[in-house]
Amino acid sequence: MRDWKAIAAAHELNLEGHDLDRAIQALTKLEEQFRPLLADLTPEIEPATRFDAAGSET
């Protein structure tokens, strides 16, 4: 698991004390849910985002 407190310090996060603890707790819980999902990813799965090189949508 990531050291969110260190990452927050490195980013000079504008949160202190209890607010910082709450934010880190939320990120830690989210990472616990999110991280195991990555094991299911295979290389052919592309992101569900779209870029239209021809710009034909506009």
Partner 1 sequence: MTIREAAAALRKKGLSAVDLATAAIARIERLDGSLRAFITVTAPYALQRARQADAELAAGNDRGTLHGIPIAVKDLFAMRGVRTTAGSKVFENFVPDANATVIDRLEKCGAVLLGKLNLHELAYGITSNNPFFGAVRNPWNVAHIPGGSSGGSGAAVAANMVYAAMGTDTGGSIRIPASFCGSVGLKPTYGRISRYGVMPLAYSLDHAGPLTRSVSDAAVMLNAMAGPDPLDDSSSRHPTVDYLPEDVPSIRGLRVGFPQNFFFERVDADVESAVRGACARAESLGAILKPVTVPDMAAISAIGRVILLAESSAYLEPYLNEPSRFGSDVWSLLQQGRLLPATDYVNAQRLRRRVREQFCELWQEVDCLFTPTTPNTAPHIGAQIVTLGGVEEDVRLATTRFVRGMNVLGLPALSIPCGLSGSGLPIGLQIIGPAFDEALILKVGAALEAGGVGIPPCQVST
Which chain residues interact with partner 1 by CB under 8 A? 4, 7-8, 11, 13-15, 19, 22-23, 26-27, 30, 33-34, 37-38, 40-41, 45-49, 52, 57-58
Instruction: Please report, as a single letter, which amino acid is at residue 24.
Output: I
C-alpha to C-alpha distance for 9 and 20, rounded to whole angstroms: 10
Where do runs of H (alpha helix) occur along 1-44? 4-10, 17-34
CB of 39 to partner 1, least distance (A): 11
CB of 51 to partner 1, least distance (A): 10
Other CB atoms closer than 10 Å to residue 51's CB: what's the count?
6
CB of 38 to partner 1, least distance (A): 6
